Structure 1
Amino acid sequence: MSMGLVGLAGAPAAKGRETEPMKLTPWILLIILLVATPAAWAAEGPVVAMGRAAVAGNELKARDLAVEDALRQAVGQSAAKLLDPATLRAGLQVLDQKVLAKAKQYVGSFTLEASSISDGQMLVLVSANVDARALEQALALAGIRVPTGNLGRVLVLVAEENAPGRPPVFWWSGYGQDDCAPRVVAKTLKAMGLELADCAPLRQGLPPELKALEITDEQALQLARLAGADIVLRGAARTYPLVSRPGQAETPLLDVQAIEAASGRVLAKQSAPGPKFSQTPGVEGAEQNDAALAQAVRDLVAQVVVARPMSAQDQGVLEIELSGVGSLGQLMRFEQVVSSLTSMVDSLRRQSLGGGKAVYRVEARVSASRLADEILVQNYGGFLVNVLEVAPGRLRLALLANH
Structure 2
Amino acid sequence: MMSDSHITKKAVHCALFILMLLWSWSAAAQLPGQQQVEAIGTGSITYNDVAAARDRAIDDALRKAVEQTLGTYIDSQTRVQNYMVVEDRILSWSRGYVSNYQITSELKKTPELYEVRMLATVNTSDLQRDADAVRNLIMSMGNPRVMILFDEQNIGQSYDKYYYFDVDMTASETAMMNKFLEKDFQVVDPTTVRQNKERDAILAAINGDNKAAASLALKQDAEVVITGKAVAKVATGINLAGMKSCQANLTARVIDADVGTVIATGSQHAAYPHIDEVTGGTLAIEKAAKALSDDLISKILAKWQSRFYDLNTVKISVMGLASYTQASDFKNALQYTARGVKNVFQRDLSGGTAEFDIQITGNAEQLARELDQRQIGDFAVAVIGASANKVTLRASMSNQESPADSL
Q: TM-score, normalised by structure 2?
A: 0.36
Larger radius of gyration: 2
Give the structure with the higher percent strand.
Answer: 2
